[in-house]
Amino acid sequence: MTKSFQQAFNALKEHTCLSYAKIATMGGLCNVDHIIVKATAPNGSPLSDKYVHQLLRLFAISPPCCRAFSLGFARRLGKTRSWRVALKCLLLLHRLLRSSPEDSLFRTELLINRSNGSISLYPCNFRDVSSSDPESFTAFIRSYARLVDEISNEDNHRRRPGPPNNSLEEIGRVLEVLEQIQSLIDRVIECKPTGVTARNFLIQTAMKHITRDSFVCYTVFKNDIVFLLENMFQMPTYRCCISAFDVYRKAALQADRLYEFYQWCKLMGVCGCYEYPFVDRIPLLQIQALESFINGMWEIKDDNGDHQSPSSSSLSSTAEKVGDEGEEERQPLIKLNDDDDDSWEDILEASVVNFSSHGSDEKDEWRIQVYNPFDGKYVSSDPNYPWGH
Per-residue pLDDT of 355-374, as tens digits, reads 333 344 444 433 333 334 45
Residue 196: predicted pLDDT: 92
Of 95, 17, 106, the C-alpha closest to 69 is 106
d(CA 284, CA 295): 17
Nearest to 285 by CA among 257, 252, 327: 252
Q: What three-state secondary structure class fits 134?
A: helix
**DSSP bridge pairs for 354:** 366
Q: How far apart are CA 118 and CA 112, in angstroms?
A: 9
Model pLDDT for residues 65-107, shown as the tens digit of each residue:
999 999 999 999 999 999 999 999 999 999 999 999 888 899 9
What are the C-alpha distances in Å from 26 to residues 29, 40, 46, 62, 379? 7, 18, 23, 22, 62
Q: How far apart are CA 307 and CA 228, in angstroms?
A: 27
What separation in angstroms does the CA of 323 have from each of 66, 283, 288, 359, 387?
Answer: 46, 10, 13, 37, 13
Hey, what CATH class is 157-299 in? mainly alpha
Check pLDDT > 90 for residue 310: no
Distance CA(187)–CA(144), nearest Å, equals 8
d(C-alpha 308, C-alpha 298), whole Å:
10
Is the predicted pLDDT of residue 260 greater than 90, yes or no?
Answer: yes
The two most distant CA atoms of the chain are separated, in Å, by 87
The pLDDT, as a whole number, for residue 236 is 74
C-alpha closest to that of 186 among 224, 146, 131, 157: 146
Q: Can you give the pLDDT at residue 332?
A: 41
pLDDT band, very low/low/confident/very high, at 142 (cuts 50, 70, 90): very high
Look up residue 388 and give its DSSP letter.
B
Check residues 55 and 118 and name the one with the higher pLDDT.
Answer: 55
User: Which stretch, 11-25, 102-116, 157-171, has highest mean pLDDT?
Assistant: 102-116
Q: Which of 322, 198, 351, 176 is nearest to 265 (CA)?
A: 198
Question: pTM, whole model, 2 decimals?
Answer: 0.72
Task: Evaluate whether 1-138 and 157-299 have a shared fold.
Answer: no
Identify the pLDDT of residue 192. Answer: 96
What's the confidence (pLDDT) of residue 364?
40
Three-state SS for 282? coil
Segments making up each domain of the chain, as ranges: 1-138, 157-299
pLDDT for res 342 = 54
Q: Across the chain, what does the average pLDDT equal? A: 75
In this prediction, residues 263-270 reach a mean pLDDT of 95
| Residue range 197-219, pLDDT digits in tens | 999 999 999 999 999 999 999 99
**Architecture of the CATH domain 1-138:** Alpha Horseshoe (1.25)
Looking at per-residue confidence, does 149 or 298 come out higher? 149
pLDDT band at 341 (very low <50, low <70, confident <90, very high): low
- CA 115 to centroid of chain Cα atoms: 23
Non-local CB neighbours of 287 within 8 Å, separated by 6+ positions: 248, 249, 252, 318, 322
Question: Cα–Cα distance between 352 and 370 in angstroms, integer?
Answer: 8
Residue 39 to residue 220: CA distance in whole angstroms: 32
Q: Which residues contact 233 (CB under 8 A, 6 or more apart)?
A: 241, 293, 297
Statement: residue 274 has pLDDT above 90: yes
How many of the other CB atoms lie within 10 Å of CB of 200? 22
In DSSP notation, 310-354 reads: GGGSS----TTTSS-TTSPPPPPSS---SSS---HHHHHHHTEEE
130 against 354, higher pLDDT: 130
* Res. 9 pLDDT band, cuts 50 70 90: very low
